[in-house]
A and B are shown apart, each in its own frame.
Chain A
């Protein structure tokens, strides 16, 4: 069982456009847009396509935004962990910590009109798309302030205005939906793309290949993103897939293997993919990433992998650490300032949890709302058929 170990992701700044400004910097400038070029940790590997270059342009503002957002996401997932343990979140809770770079990098490369659809590990993607902490925590706790009014739960986060299509519990079922979104985008000729995300476990689903075939047949602007965290719940990828090179699985569809723990690699790949797909039809991106938690809160995550492996990845490839080192190397902020940002994130999360706890649980009539749209004037009974009656709206 070998995990592809990357050599230490210590990035050396290649060039800075204007270095003198950094000497006089005091509190980190959030508006600085001078270009910094960063090299990704490893080169991209392409299948049937020319991989993009390793050099990614960024700027201090983006670096600080990456750090702040990822710290917030990480904090949110840790908080969700403790909420689950204190039984405020029930059912299934799949946490994304470790994989934040995928969400952040993707958001940096696309607009809010491009669609994202994913499976059940959707909390951070929801946040990345513009969802608020209050909506997330309230939904996790089943309150009305949640993004789905508390009726969806952890696996059903959606945000229509930001073109975030969720949030799906059945493994692999979101891939045909994603191709449908791409179909509608092609139908409307609006020039946007759809990022359809799935995991290494779902990569073995038949409907994925069916959808890929159709997307390639009709040149749909669909980018299939495989978030390969190397474990499909408890089954390692080498035990589930004959060919774990998921980016090659498309055969005639080009693919790109990306270091998913490096936000800039993800950003570069998504930018490349978006341009590619609008001209040439679908592409598969394989994000080599890792999750620190188990598959979900009911999985300790240590029965099928060693703790050494988890801490090894945390030390060498953690996405937030990578950005932290970059920021420090470029002198964009001090250690203390970064710690303050993390403290601020913790504070925001704690406040959101308090507010979410104040939000009420849905009332009984809510049981029957949104079953149908503009339904019919038929009466509907509750489970006991005698007491609870409502007229469907």
Chain B
């Protein structure tokens, strides 16, 4: 294990695109180009597969997930490349991405509470400790501040740790390490140190988990300079974003959602990595742009069904990248539809939606026909009672009403 520390610069080189039009990038496999037989697929937004930039493989039909939570999505099979792919749940997709990256690069290691022998509280790391050993899949004591700091220190030395918070809310204890050391060290050291950590964990409002276990930390972290934030919502993008986050040399916070772990989807067999800074076009449309992420995507799609029946044609974009925002995709959509609705699970005050509203207003004000509407959770601690909890979070009927109001 100690001998595999070659310069992995080649393996993680991202060709930064100068023109925004070509927003794909190439991942060099560690094998030599002659050996590599197009074993991975570069994915552009819109779910269109482009094989190494040359041929367009058949587009993937859009899938409408009808339920807000964990349900079997009816996906048209055989839509990806020539192989049908395999079906799995979201936590298995995360695990697959993680395992592939650990296999590929010996410096990748996992640390967190109960990730090793227990297999992870959401089974994301199940089986990995048995395969890779206790040092690579490290069971830490309950000391978030310190093991996050440890992961960052290890990253300074060249390892690529993935730090798991059992629940995102626990990472508040590690806020100092994440903000000061993780985000800022690359800057304050004048570029000497890079911190290629991935901090991941489930957050969001679950099923009556109580206030402290239902926090949305993306709004607290978004101001930290130097970090990137992504939120996954489907098994497909979970695996792709996990792999991209691990390969990125920047600190990335990957937000998962407690209620989405059991979503089932068919994903390609080939290796693929997604673009960390790109938004996903879930449903193209004409009348209104609905921007959302994580679990709210499913509420929005449910509302979209109703809206379609009522004659509206919403364009749904899963922004995926919470920092930075993919203003290119979002901007193009706004230029088309001229109306924006943001649906998020964050709090109203200082949430992702608030920042997104500001960003859109500043950049695309001239293209808007109506003020931006932002639907977010109420500014209250999440109550335990089921009915109250439902009212805290944005529900599909509210989305429908908002669109109708917006498109008047």
Contact = CB atoms under 8 A, between A and B. Distances in A.
User: Do A and B interact?
Assistant: yes
A168 B181 contact: yes
Contacts, number: 174
Contacts of B2: 187-190
Interface string A359-393: 00000000001111111111000000100000001
A105 interface: no
A370 B154 contact: no
A217 interface: yes
A112 to B, nearest CB: 14
Given A176-B148, A214-B146, A375-B16, A370 B190 contact: yes
B155 interface: yes
A152 B189 CA distance: 6
Given A148-B192, A160-B189, A370-B186, A176 B150 contact: yes
B251 to A, nearest CB: 9
A48 B190 CA distance: 41
Interface in A204-253: 206-207, 210-211, 213-214, 217-218
Given A165-B153, A377-B17, A160 B180 contact: no
A183 B362 contact: no
Range of interface residues on A (Cβ < 8 Å): 35 or more
A176 B181 CA distance: 11
Interface in A305-326: none
Interface string B186-217: 11111111100000000000000000000000
Looking at chain A's contact residues, the main secondary structure is loop
A320 B135 CA distance: 44
Most buried by A among B14, B17, B156, B157: B157
A189 B180 CA distance: 29
Contacts of B1: 187-189
Interface in B314-351: 324, 327
Given A173-B149, A378-B277, A188 B5 contact: yes
A169 B188 CA distance: 11
B398 interface: no
Contacts of A185: 157
Contacts of A153: 188
Contacts of B157: 115, 180-181, 184-185
Looking at chain B's contact residues, the main secondary structure is loop
B125 interface: no
A186 B154 CA distance: 10
A147 interface: yes
A184 B159 contact: yes
A151 B154 contact: no
11 contacts: A146-B190, A152-B189, A160-B189, A176-B145, A176-B153, A177-B153, A180-B151, A184-B154, A213-B141, A373-B249, A374-B13
Given A181-B156, A211-B143, A374-B14, 8 more contacts: A148-B188, A158-B192, A168-B180, A177-B152, A183-B154, A184-B158, A372-B186, A374-B16
Interface of A: 115, 117, 146-153, 156, 158-160, 165-170, 173, 175-190, 206-207, 210-211, 213-214, 217-218, 369-378, 385, 393
